[in-house]
Structure 1
Amino acid sequence: MALTHEEREQFLAEPHIAAFAVDGGPGRAPLTVPIWYQYAPGGDIWIMTGLDSRKNKLIEAAGRFSLMVDRVEPTIRYVSVEGPVIDTAPATIERLREISARYLPAGKVDAYVDVAWKSHGEQVLIHMRPEKWVSSDLGSL
């Protein structure tokens, strides 16, 4: 069964690890990797990645990407969303802290942010406007 608009937005707002996909370029399969993301119902999605990363270069070339999140308990449910990149901006330590707090236990955030900010190199925020949605809840088969 397809999810309602509200159900799919609420599900996407939960802190799932997303499967990120973007066109891999000529002769390559799509680049698909796990990624943290941030989303609030009715808003845009943002991700953070290395400024010089292959992921960022492919996003710049394609102008769009997709995310898919799923779970298997208590029911089998997924949401996939695709859309255009609407903005990019240099990452800030505040945004790194925000996204880290979404996924890590509170007591681990500061240490992770300190290491990541110093060692991951220059980062960029990429904002995507959800345009196409696919969703389903298969129940507890």
Structure 2
Amino acid sequence: MALTREEREEFLAEPHIAALAVDAGAGRAPLTVPIWYQYEPGGDLWIMTGLDSRKNELIQAAGRLSLMVDRIEPTIRYVSVEGPVVNTVPATLEQLREISARYLPAEKVDGYVDFAWKNHGEQVVVHVRPERWVSSDLGQV
């Protein structure tokens, strides 16, 4: 059964690992990779990635992407969003800390942020406006 707007936005706001898909060019299937993301209901979502990464190059060329998140318990549920890139800006240490705290145990955040800031190279934050939604809760199987 399809989720209501409120249900799908609340589900997307939970800290799931997303599958990001972006056009990889003629003769290629979409690039699909796991990624951390940030989202608040009613707003744009954002991801952080390397400035010179293939992922970012493809996202900038396509101008849009899709994200899918899912779970299998307590019910099978998924939400997929697709939309345009509305802004790409240099990542800040504060954004790295925010997204890291969303996914990591509190005691691991500082160490990870310190390592990532020093070793992952220049990062960008890509803001995406969700335009199309596909969602469902299949219940318990």
TM-score, length basis structure 2: 0.99
In structure 1, the residue matched to 2:78 is: 78
Question: Which letter maps to 1:37?
Answer: Y
- The Cα shift of 1:31 comes to 0.2
Structure 2: state its 5+ residue gaps: none
User: In the alignment, what sits opposite 1:110?
Assistant: 110
Residues 46-83 of structure 1: per-residue CA shift (max 9 Å, x gap): 00000000000001110000000000000000000000
Q: Distance in 2 between matches of 1:92 and 1:3?
A: 34
Matched, 1:46 2:60: no
Letter in 2 for 1:114: D
The CA deviation at 1:30 is 0.3
Matched letter for residue 113 of structure 1 = V
Q: Does 1:124 align with 2:102?
A: no
Amino acid at match of 1:57: E
Q: Which amino acid aligns with 2:12?
A: L
Shift of 1:27: 1.7
Q: Indicate the percent of aligned positions where both proteins have the same amino acid.
A: 82
1:1-141 matches, within 5 Å, as 1-141=1-141
RMSD (CA atoms): 0.4
4+ runs deviating over 6 angstroms = none
Take 1:51 and 1:61, find their aligned partners in 2: how far apart are those partners? Answer: 13
Q: Aligned equivalents of 1:59 and 1:33: distance in 2?
A: 12
DSSP 3-state at the match of 2:108: helix
TM-score normalised according to structure 1 size: 0.99
Q: What SS does structure 1 have at the residue aligned with 2:133?
A: strand
Q: How many residues align?
A: 141
SS at match of 1:74: coil
Tell me the CA shift for residue 26 of structure 1. 1.6
Query: 1:111, CA displacement in angstroms?
Result: 0.1
